[in-house]
Structure formats: C-alpha cells, structure tokens
C-alpha cells in the first residue's frame, strides 16, 4: 500500500458546524469520505473514493486523489478552509 502525503493538506468542515478535519493523504481522504462525509452518493463522491483507493494501491497519483477529493467537496457543498485564512 502506498500513501504519499500531499504537499498542501485539505481542511474541511465536518457535519458538526464549526468542527474541522484536516486530511493530508489519499488514505486519510478515503477515510474522511467513508466516515465523515455528508453524502454517500454522487458522481464526484464515487470518483473521489475510487481515485483515493487507486492511489493507495499505486495505480493513481496522490495529486489526482487530491483533486478528486476537492471535486467531491464541491459536489457535497462541503466548506474547505483555505490555508492561512
């Protein structure tokens, strides 16, 4: 299993208002999608989960997993906290 960290972590607001979780790798992103995500359906959600798992197996790049995770956040209307803000 490969789990290369991202250069820039992603911090998102969980379903509990004001509570944030930071993910730094495809494995953490997959876990967030499975355990902390407000939706368990959707095209971007399913693509992100597949891409994160594929990245962990070495069949996709960590950057592709990061981009897929961000698209899933947009689809689910999940707030992403911008670094430094």
Measure the CA–CA gap between 52 and 58, rounded to whole angstroms. Answer: 10
pLDDT tens readout for residues 72-81: 999 999 999 8
pLDDT tens readout for residues 14-64: 888 889 999 999 999 999 999 989 988 999 999 999 999 999 999 999 999
The secondary structure element, H or E, covering residue 21 is strand 20-23
Domain spans in the chain, listed from the N-terminal domain onward: 10-81
Neighbours of 25 (CB within 10 A): 20
pLDDT of residue 18: 85
Measure the CA–CA gap between 66 and 71, rounded to whole angstroms. Answer: 9
pTM: 0.91
How close are the terminal C-alpha atoms of the chain, in Å?
34
């Amino acid at each position: 299993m490969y789990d290369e960290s991202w250069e820039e972590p992603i911090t998102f607001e969980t379903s509990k208002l004001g509570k944030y979780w930071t993910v730094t790798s495809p494995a953490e992103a997959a876990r967030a999608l499975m355990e902390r995500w407000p939706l368990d359906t959707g095209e971007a959600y399913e693509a992100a989960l597949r891409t994160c798992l594929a990245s962990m197996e070495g069949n996709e790049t960590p950057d592709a997993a990061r981009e897929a995770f961000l698209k899933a956040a947009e689809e689910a209307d999940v707030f992403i906290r911008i670094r430094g803000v």
